């Protein structure tokens, strides 16, 4: 039987790291939701970079959409930030997105030596299909958190995905982080937005007048059959 685990923070990743695992990177608010949205609107690939200076190097190349965010705020010199609504347009079609964010791109780059896919509520069903039917690996759900700290929204998503995988009968676990995540997911079921009312990042985005981003990422108006996978220094859609 395959094993499933949850890593709740990038600062803990070294304790879980296994190159044989299938790693699902999650940054619900907002990087992995942005990545899934961008693919639905025709982006060709995503290049996750760690620094603003790395992203800046692509600014004057028309083949790239370049986006940067720090501390939940867009960076002035970049047209694109970390809001999924910015990617709901035809201008991105056929281009590559160069993306740097506070948390999500950091987690992706930490785990890129493993088989790595991108998870969000947008492609939750596609993740399940891929994991259950198209891979035999053990699974690690890797939460991006906030600057090394645990956050609720990523943990709850990890719990929701874990519940579905465990209920399939194909997985077992000895991971307490998974048990914590599934408990939170069960408590939040049916009204996730309200459940996160006191959470740090929901309030951080609220203070920046970005609550529509939060609502979309937690309960998206689009769904995807796509699974973005990291390969060859960029994220692309896989065919399976």
> Which residues on neighbouring strands pair with residue 73, listed in sequence order?
70
Could you read off the pLDDT of 13-51 as tens digits, one per residue? 999 999 999 999 999 999 999 999 999 999 999 999 999
Closest Cα partner for 96 from 57, 63, 55?
63
The CATH number linked to 11 is 3.90.1560.10
Neighbours of 26 (CB within 10 A): 29
Q: Which residues, at least 6 apart from 156, have a Cβ–Cβ distance to it below 8 Å?
A: 181, 184, 185, 188, 192, 195, 196
Number of compact structural domains in the chain:
1
Phi, psi (deg, nearest 5) at residue 43: -65, 145
Domain span holding position 23: 2-237
- Please report, rounded to a whole number, the percentage of residues in the chain having pLDDT higher than 70: 100
Contact 5, 173 (CB under 8 A): yes
Measured between alpha carbons, how far is 240 from 233 in angstroms, rounded to an integer?
20
Distance CA 227, CA 240 (A): 9
pTM of the model: 0.97
Angle at 124 between CA 143 and CA 170, to 5 degrees: 85
Residue 239 DSSP symbol? P
Using pLDDT thresholds of 50, 70 and 90, give the confidence band for residue 240. Answer: confident
Residue by residue, DSSP assigns 24-50 as EEE-TTTHHHHHHHHHHTT--EEEE-S
Q: Which residues are CB-contacts of 240 (< 8 A; sequence separation ≥ 6)?
A: 130, 134, 227
Helix axes 176-188, 152-167, angle to 10 degrees: 100
**Maximum separation of any 2 CA atoms in the chain, in Å:** 50
CB-based contact 136:1 (threshold 8 Å): no
Tens-place pLDDT, residues 106-119: 999 999 999 999 99
Predicted confidence (pLDDT) per residue in 126-182, tens digit: 999 999 999 999 999 999 999 999 999 999 999 999 999 999 999 999 999 999 999
């Amino acid at each position: 039987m395959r094993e499933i685990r949850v890593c709740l923070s990038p600062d803990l990743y070294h304790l879980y790291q296994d190159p044989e695992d299938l790693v699902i990177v999650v940054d619900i608010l907002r990087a992995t939701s942005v990545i899934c949205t961008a693919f639905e609107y025709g982006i060709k690939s995503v290049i996750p970079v760690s620094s603003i200076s790395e992203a800046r190097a692509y600014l004057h190349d028309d083949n790239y959409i370049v986006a940067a965010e720090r501390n939940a705020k867009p960076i002035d010199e970049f047209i694109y930030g970390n809001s999924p609504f910015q990617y709901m347009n035809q201008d991105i079609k056929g281009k590559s997105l160069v993306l740097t964010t506070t948390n999500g791109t950091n987690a992706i780059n930490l785990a890129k030596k493993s088989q790595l896919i991108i998870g969000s509520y947008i492609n939750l069903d596609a993740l399940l299909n891929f994991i259950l039917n198209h891979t035999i690996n053990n699974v690690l759900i890797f939460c991006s958190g906030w600057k090394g700290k645990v956050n609720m929204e990523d943990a709850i998503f990890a719990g929701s995905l874990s519940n579905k995988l465990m209920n399939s009968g194909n997985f077992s676990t000895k991971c307490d982080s998974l048990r914590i995540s599934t408990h939170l997911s069960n408590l939040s079921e049916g009204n996730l937005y309200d459940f996160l009312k006191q959470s740090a990042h929901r309030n951080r985005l609220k203070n920046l007048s970005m609550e529509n981003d939060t609502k979309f990422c937690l309960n998206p108006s689009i769904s995807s059959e796509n699974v973005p996978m990291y390969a060859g220094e960029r994220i692309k859609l896989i065919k399976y």
